[in-house]
Amino acid sequence: MIVKYFELKKEIKKNINFYLLYGSNIGLIEETINNIFKPVLSKNLYYHDEKEILANENEFKEGILSKSFFDKDKLIIINRASDKILDIIREIIDKKTEDLKVILKSEILEKKSKLRTFFEKNTFTIATPFYEDNHQTLSFLAQNFLKEKKVKISSQNINFVIEKSKGSRINLKNELEKIAIYSLKKKSINLDEIIKLTNLAENYNISELIDQCLAGNKKKTVQILNDNNPSSEDNILIVKNFLFKLKRLKKLKEDLEINKNTEMILSSYKPTIFWKDKEIIKQQLKVWTLKKIKNQIKEINELENQIKKNSQISNLTVNNFILSSLNATNN
């Protein structure tokens, strides 16, 4: 049956175990899983990609249906689902696996999709479309976020931030996060300050800068740095995100020393690595040694301590760290 995304919280309490979340609004899909499903089913999470399941179908089904695999309140998330996986899902449903919930994620599914039709027509499955946000939904998101953070911004300025985000919920949240960091020093923020804070979003995503750097892509990294003039709030986010990605890289490297299967390591990592990010992470794993990662984590911890003492840390200091990380991948 078809259920709207804001009704899912009510539906999850019922005896429905199979969900299809599809559409172009990936940010809202992730938000829904994190806010609705994971708090209820956080103990036993398993992540799979459809391609991996199809390549190891018997192994996947055995794992799903074996008693040892069946802990209570299990949540399985399958990325990039398409019509190809429908027969496997039907087989699992036929086994009446009551203690299992399965979420299939997909971007675009046409009306003629067999998978979509199956989930829409049956009363024991739920299909939820996630359409692109409009100005109204993004405005609601921004107002709630700013209210929670106790940040005062005029409606006109909220509209400006929404426009700068180009309709992306993920971009909007990044910009609002920068504003929230900046507002710790001030009670209210004017338009000139917002313009300075959001100048980065026009040219690149902070995550892209870090990923390109960690992958050793010197040309792209230097180009991003040259094309932008980040604010002190941007620098704080860059350092925090850099540390997060380095720690993830360290854990992946340690896991690979035990199990050499890169695909398996990436698929089982928590929090989930989005399928679009897997290729660049594989590249990062090739150019970094565990020793270099540990050294770089020490350096960025020192940089973070500097920021805590002085939030107006210079672009030069952050840029030098990024370039030193880039050099570490090429030595």
124 and 139 in a single domain? The answer is: no
Instruction: Report the distance separating Cα 298 and Cα 303, nearest Å.
Output: 9
Residues 78, 82, 86, CA angle at the centre, nearest 5°? 85
- Same domain, residue pair 190 and 246: no
The CATH number that applies at residue 178 is 1.10.8
Look at phi and psi of residue 27 and say left if phi exceeds 0, alpha if psi is from -120 to 50, else beta: alpha
* 8: pLDDT strictly greater than 70: yes
Q: Which amino acid is at 229?
A: N
Q: What is the predicted pLDDT for the residue at 293?
A: 92
Phi–psi pair at 4, nearest 5 degrees: -75, 150
- What does the pLDDT look like over 185-214, one tens digit per residue? 777 788 777 876 765 444 456 778 899 999
Query: Quick one: which of 9, 3, 202 has its CA closest to 119?
Result: 3
Under a CB-based contact definition with an 8 Å cutoff, are residues 15 and 97 in contact?
Answer: no
Are 59 and 160 in the same domain? no
Sheet holding 100-106, edge to edge: 44-49, 74-79, 100-106, 18-22, 125-129
Last residue of a domain, one of 99, 129, 159: 129
Give the integer Cα–Cα distance in Å for 265 and 93.
27
Of the listed ranges 22-36, 55-69, 294-308, the one predicted with least confidence: 55-69
The pLDDT, as a whole number, for residue 273 is 77
pLDDT at 256: 87
Same domain, 193 and 144: yes
The tokens of 273 are what? Answer: 């690595």
Same domain, yes or no, for 51 and 125?
A: yes
> Same domain, yes or no, for 103 and 55?
yes
Choice between 329 and 287, residue whose per-residue pLDDT is larger: 287
Domain end marker among 181, 202, 223: 202
CA 8 to chain centre: 20
Domain count, the chain: 3
Residue whose structure tokens are 């019922």: 14
Question: Is it the case that residue 4 has pLDDT exceeding 70?
Answer: yes
Residues 6+ apart with CB under 8 A from 149: 176, 180, 183
Residue where one domain finishes, among candidates 129, 145, 179 = 129
Poorest-confidence range of 59-73, 109-123, 213-227, 316-330?
A: 59-73
Domain identity same for 246 and 298 = yes
Question: For residues 48 and 81, what is the distance between their CA atoms, to the nearest angstrom?
Answer: 10
Q: Which amino acid is at 285?
A: L
Mean pLDDT along residues 121-148: 90
CA distances from residue 155 to 176, 186, 295 in whole angstroms, order as listed: 14, 18, 45
**pTM score of the predicted model:** 0.55
Q: Which residues of 36-57 are buried (b: 16+ CB within 10 A; e: fewer)?
A: bbeeebeeebbbbbbebbeeee
Alpha-helical regions (H) of 66-183: 86-94, 114-121, 135-148, 155-164, 169-183
Mean pLDDT for the chain overall: 83
Arithmetic mean of pLDDT, 129-157: 87
Strands 18-22 and 44-49: unpaired
129: part of which helix (H) or strand (E)?
strand 125-129
For residues 95-113, average pLDDT: 86
**C-alpha 256 chain-centroid distance:** 22
Q: Could you tell me the residue range of the domain that residue 59 belongs to?
A: 5-129
